[in-house]
Each structure stands twice: as C-alpha cells, then as structure tokens.
Amino acid sequence: MKEKEIKDFVKERYSKIANKTDSSSCSCCSGTEMDGIIMQAKAVGYSDEEIKSIPADAIFGLGCGNPTALAEIKKGETVLDLGSGGGIDVFLAANKVGDAGKVIGVDMTQEMVKTATQNAEAGGYDNVEFKLGEIENLPIEDNSIDVIISNCVINLTPNKSVAFKEVFRVLKDGGRILISDIVTEGELPDAVRKSFQAWSECTAGAMEKQDYLETIKKAGFKDVEIIKQHFFTEPKLDERLVGKITSVQVRALKEETVSDDKTACCGESIVGAPEKETDMNLGCCGETGDMKPESEIGESDECGCGGEFPDESLVKNPDEPKNMVDPDLLKGFEKFAHAMGIVSIGYTKVIPELINAEEPLYPNAIVLTLEMGEDIIETPPGPEAQQLNDATYAKLGNITYALSDFIRANGFVTQVAHPYGGMVGFSQLGQKAGLGWIGQSGLLISPELGPRQKISAIFTNIENLPLNNNVDHSWISDYCGKCGKCIKACPEKALIETKSCCGKEIEFIQKRCIGCSQGCTYCIGDCPFDEKGYEHVKNKFDKMNAKLTLKKSKSGC
C-alpha cells in the first residue's frame, strides 16, 4: 500500500463525514445519528457540560479520548489541535485559553476546515483559527505553540516519525503535548493492515505501543509517559481486534534550552533542569517505579496492596439500568474477557465479611483472575521485580475497566475494584466465587494458575449471574496445613506459625511482607501448586489420603 493511496482514501472518507454522507461506523467513531454521536463522545471521556458548551455540529464522535481534559490548558496559551475535524477540541480549548489565548486547528480535508470555520462563526469564537494542512508538513511557525493536542488522528498518518518531528518543531521550548491515540498490543492480521477501510477506521495504521512511545522520544521529546489507557472496545468491534487495541493518552515535554545546565545522575546533561523537589515516583534515570509509600499500604492480609483507585471506566453508568442479563450477552462478555487475557471468571454475592474499606455500591461481584508471568517469579525482590509486579496490577486494572465499559454499554451499572486496591479481600472473594481456595500464604490457589494470579472484581446490579459457591477446592486447606513451604520461603518472616487450642495457625504480618514494596514472590515460587501444578498436587494428596484410610481400616480405627 502506497502512502499517497492511503491518504487519498482517508481524505475521501472524512470529507464524506464532514458532508454527512458517510453513515458507516468504525473503531474510533460511531454513526451519524446524533444520539449515537453524543453517546460515543461521552464514552471516550467528554462530559455533558463540555458537550453542551460548544456548537453541536462540531461533534462527530470521531475521537478515542478527551485530550483537553488532561492537557492542563491555561489562560493566555496558544494551543494547536492536530486533525481538528469539526472543531470539538478546538472549541473546548478556546473556552480554557480565554480572550488572551488562541487555538489553531489543522486538518487535511477542505470540507472539515470549512465545517469547523462555520461552527466557529455560529458559536461566536474570535480566538480560534482553522487551517488546511497535513501533520507531516504543518502550516505553523517554528517554536510558536504552547500546547499541542490531538485526538485519534496521528494513527491515520503512514509516517508517524515525520509527524512527531513536525510537532516538535512548532512547539515552544518548555511546551507540552497531550495526544489521545490508538495503539496495538499484539499482532494484527495482515488483512486488517492492508485494508484501506481499516486505515480510515484508525486500526490499520496503529503502531505497537512501545514503538509509538519510542517514536515520540526519537523526535526529541522528554518525559514521555502514558497517563491514562484502556483496552478499546465497542459493540461491533472486529473479533480479530479484541484485546489488541488500546486507547492511550500520552503526555510529553519539549525541554527548555537555557544556559544554566544541570547534570543528571546518569551523566547526561539536562539543559535548564528546573529547581524543584524530586518526584519520588521517578527512578534515577527517569524510570517509573510505582511503588506505594508505606503510609498508603493497607493492613489487609489479601492480595491487593491497598490505596484508593478512582473508577476509570470510560462509559458512564446508565441512568435507568437493566438488572437481568441475557445468557448470550454474558457469554459474549466472557469471550471478550478471555480474549484480553483473563483466565478465570467467577460470580458471587458480596457479604460484609469480605469488605475491607467502603461498602461496594452493588451487591453482586464478577471476579477476574490474570496470570502473573514467570519473569515476576524468577526475578529476586527489588525495583525490577516491583516494576514487573506493578505492571501486572496495572494491566489487570485496565482490562477490568474495559470490561466494566462493556457491561455499562449494554445497560447495566458497575463499580470497579482495582486489583491494587484494598476495597475487598480479593482472595476471599475468589474463594467464595468458586475459583479456588485460600492457602496458608493467604493467596488464592486455583486449578488454572495455582497461587500465581492477580485478582480484580466488578460489582454490579445484575441479579441473575450464575453464582458458584462450590467447595470443590476446600481440600487445599488440609494439604497446605501439612506442607508449610511458603512459611519457610518467606525471607522477612511475614508468615508465622503459632499454636492455639485448636492446633496450628498461620499469622500473616502485613508490615513485614515486601510483596507490595519489592515485588517479592518467594512464597509463590516455592509453592508446590506453582512448581508441580494443581492436578499433580491433588493426585498426590488423594493418594496420601487413600493410604491413610487403608491404614486406619487395617488397624480397626
């Protein structure tokens, strides 16, 4: 596929959208019916107040985020919107910069520029301007822009490296970008990559996530970070793309060039480094270390390391929710969940004994598990292990938000319990949902993953979930009582064996555990369920019991 052919097809399609002659839907936009357009705008992050504050004809439902909400736009700034379409983000930014500021929108289709200009005139906007141009050759002067935003547009250009270099050129020293875009996590089929339609629908041109971030860095930007991300989903999403497309909000800075040089700890010269307190979440060389301070680590003896996590589902809860789910819809939900990497799904009622902090808004729980990779288990405690551990928590959190969005989009209300949070006892919740049984380490042991899993939950109002409160895995308690390997494996003595009137008991001392501060997994790595597998341990346990039973019968006991 040639670059010019791709651009021509994209231009033609978005020209039709501007003229309201294209009624098709795509992975980053919805149909032209107004209700659907407004619903899509809300789904990607625009509030009712924002939508009502701008001309209605500026809203096409074409984005994958709300960059103006995260760009921290200030009064008097000059803002550039790449791929401005009907002007939705230009007008929202114009409301923020005020009369002393200015917002410029650039779009490669004449029809969109014309539509946006008409919208500006109708809305009485004097601080905006729309220009015809391409991202790879912006009609903007060097070093003239304070903030650059873009909403699901850069994925449309075949040459993203040139595009980001142009962005860097026009941005002032010390300026910043906030880009909402689509990236991939996993290989897309060749048929999708070679489809003109898929290019215009924001999928074929999407880069792999890490490559996308590296492209921004190579253009000259510093402090490149994803500040928000979700797996992208919509009801008609191609099944081949499920779990492979992510909506990201990326922020980056163009360093100031002043004479007062500072030297970084890694020996690099940082020009104009500001005098301010060090961000404790950054490592020596800019690596992120999302380790929580001790004051934020909860006292809960469950997986989940405490702290509050606001619900980041993109779709709002419906005002008039349904409460009975169709079995086929639930099957579709489970298929979607498994496609994104969820291993086990369980359903249960939330009882008071499971609640650690605030009481969930809804009485029923969908419990989800995600595998912890071998790399986490094999890495000794320390910053690297913690980074791997936190990445798994974050991945499960993002998957859970996407699944919450799926449920909400189909008419039900939800509340997400982030796996790193302390709202509930996740191991206990998993046990009640029939996914496994809690071992001596306090971790859930399941047939699929043993103790090597992270757990999250979605609380919902759905009344007819297929609850599973079986006790098929209760034998694990007896086995673990005879094993004790996890106790011996713990280097910090967080698991203490004590004696009581009822026999031996295991006390878990949260403050001693370094699982949440250094990514320690020794209790998992030494567990027979992880080393040998659930079936192997179960067969061994059954044979031991059979021998004991036979011995007792022979002795007449």
At 35, is the pLDDT very low, low, confident or very high (cuts 50, 70, 90)?
Answer: low
Residues 107 and 21 in one domain: yes
Residues 337 and 233 in one domain: no
CATH number of the domain within which 402 lies: 3.40.109
Q: Is residue 481 part of a domain?
A: yes
Residues 225 and 354 in one domain: no
d(CA 18, CA 114): 9
What sign does the dihedral 54-57-61-65 (CA atoms) show?
Answer: negative
Residues 351 and 232 in one domain: no
Q: Is residue 379 part of a domain?
A: yes
- Per-residue pLDDT reduced to its tens digit, 148-179: 999 988 887 877 888 899 999 999 999 999 99
Q: Is residue 96 part of a domain?
A: yes
At 550 the pLDDT is 80
Find the angle CA(357)-CA(403)-CA(84) to the nearest 5 degrees.
Answer: 110
pLDDT at residue 191 tops 70: no
Q: In one letter, which amino acid is 210? A: Q
Look-up of token digits 């606001």 = 310
At 105 the pLDDT is 94
Q: Within 10 Å of residue 85's Cβ, how many Cβ atoms?
A: 28
Give the CA diameter of the chain. Answer: 97
Residues 417 and 504 in one domain: yes
Helix or strand or coil: residue 475? Answer: helix
Residues 56 and 173 in one domain: yes
Residues 224 and 349 in one domain: no
Lowest mean pLDDT among 137-141, 144-148, 522-526: 522-526
Residues 383 and 502 in one domain: yes
Q: Is residue 224 part of a domain?
A: yes
Residues 205 and 335 in one domain: no
For residue 14, what are the domain limits?
3-254
Residues 21 and 115 in one domain: yes
Average pLDDT, the chain: 78
Q: Is residue 292 part of a domain?
A: no
Distance of CA 21 to the CA centre of its chain: 34
Q: 158 forms bridges with which residues in the sheet?
A: none
Lowest mean pLDDT among 80-89, 278-287, 316-325, 399-408: 278-287
Q: 263 forms bridges with which residues in the sheet?
A: 269
Mean per-residue pLDDT, 228-233: 74
- Per-residue pLDDT reduced to its tens digit, 238-275: 667 666 778 888 999 998 764 444 433 333 333 333 33
Q: Is residue 275 part of a domain?
A: no
Question: Which pairs count as long-range contacts for 117-123, CB under 8 Å and 24+ apart, including other chains?
Answer: 118/57, 119/55, 119/57, 119/58, 119/86, 119/87, 119/91, 120/55, 120/87, 120/90, 120/91, 122/55, 122/57, 123/54, 123/55, 123/58, 123/91
Q: Within 10 Å of residue 205's Cβ, how many Cβ atoms?
A: 19
Last residue of a domain, one of 254, 289, 308: 254
Residues 359 and 455 in one domain: yes
At 287 the pLDDT is 34
Last residue of a domain, one of 236, 254, 272: 254
Q: Is residue 298 part of a domain?
A: no
CATH number of the domain within which 169 lies: 3.40.50.150
* pLDDT-above-70 percentage for the chain: 73
Which letter does DSSP use for residue 421 in this model?
S
Number of domains in the chain: 2
Q: In one letter, which amino acid is 327? A: P
Residues 243 and 361 in one domain: no
Does the pTM surpass 0.85? The reply is no
d(CA 314, CA 406): 10
Mean per-residue pLDDT, 418-436: 90
Q: Is residue 25 part of a domain?
A: yes
Last residue of a domain, one of 254, 287, 314: 254
Look-up of token digits 């992510």 = 246
At 294 the pLDDT is 33
